[in-house]
Chains A and B, each alone.
Chain A
């Protein structure tokens, strides 16, 4: 519903194959895929990005976006204070346009009543999902000593 309302332009980019938006607690807020794309694949990929951003957050690295080659295309992942965007795109040339559309539409999305309701249901939770959910002390120490 959110993608259709606020990010329809993303779905009209010829090379975009899938879009997923997650809340900070790995909760799928909305998704859109071409019929040929398995949403489960996108969900699995997104979980890895939560882990990556969480490790970077632990290390005080202020990464906002990551682009990685994936099969015949690329994955664009962008973290915002309350959201994670994952976009599967065939051509890296379209990433500038994807970034522009998210920049332009994000304020309306965040201020929308729909999103405010979602945020209310998951308020007070920390971005660092990995740390809060999965890590024991030795793993926290390992990440602390990682050189990134």
Chain B
């Protein structure tokens, strides 16, 4: 069991606490909907997606449920779920081969667009990063070449 402090992250996984039943709390319809999704497998992000809730809405609901001692955090992002800085060096190298010296700028632009950075980049976002970078390459043949070259590196993170 992990103590909850700070921000509710998309990749956190919660289960219902054994100490208090949701029936004892005064829950709204959407809060019940979230409770019904807690299965120890779905992340906060997946529950938000299933219920079509915004980031703010899901965070508010999880905060309320947590403050009422209804939740137990069973897993959350650790260093294992972050991409190593070494990966970005390889990525930069692969992109430079295809795009030349602007590759580094493009990579930074895409990371900024994703509101992320090299030091705090979560593994689950790698496919989106690769797709956005691929879109920066005009030649379809080079697009495939880039994806093939980088996939084996990405795979190590995704299926470890």
> How far does the alpha carbon of A142 sit from the alpha carbon of B155 in the complex, in Å?
47
The interface size bin for chain B is: 10 to 19
Are A100 and B49 closer than 8 Å at their CB atoms? no
> How far does the alpha carbon of A125 sit from the alpha carbon of B139 in the complex, in Å?
30
Tally inter-chain residue pairs, CB-CB below 8 A. 34
Whether a CB of chain B sits under 8 angstroms from the CB of A38 is: no
Q: Which of B127, B144, B159 contacts A96 (CB 8 A)?
A: B127
Whether a CB of chain B sits under 8 angstroms from the CB of A62 is: no
CB contacts (< 8 Å) of B98 on chain A: these are none
Are B155 and A9 closer than 8 Å at their CB atoms? yes
Chain A 88-116 residues near chain B, CB threshold 8 A: 90-93, 96-97, 99-101, 103-104, 107
Are A103 and B144 closer than 8 Å at their CB atoms? yes
CB contacts (< 8 Å) of A72 on chain B: these are 50
Name B128's closest neighbour in chain A (CB-CB): A96
Chain B 110-127 residues near chain A, CB threshold 8 A: 124, 127
CB contacts (< 8 Å) of B128 on chain A: these are 96
Whether a CB of chain A sits under 8 angstroms from the CB of B7 is: no
Are A97 and B158 closer than 8 Å at their CB atoms? yes
> How far does the alpha carbon of A92 sit from the alpha carbon of B130 in the complex, in Å?
17
CB contacts (< 8 Å) of B130 on chain A: these are 96, 100
Residue ranges of B at the interface with A (Cβ–Cβ < 8 Å): 45-46, 49-50, 124, 127-128, 130-131, 144, 147-148, 151, 154-155, 158-159
Residue ranges of A at the interface with B (Cβ–Cβ < 8 Å): 9, 12, 72, 90-93, 96-97, 99-101, 103-104, 107
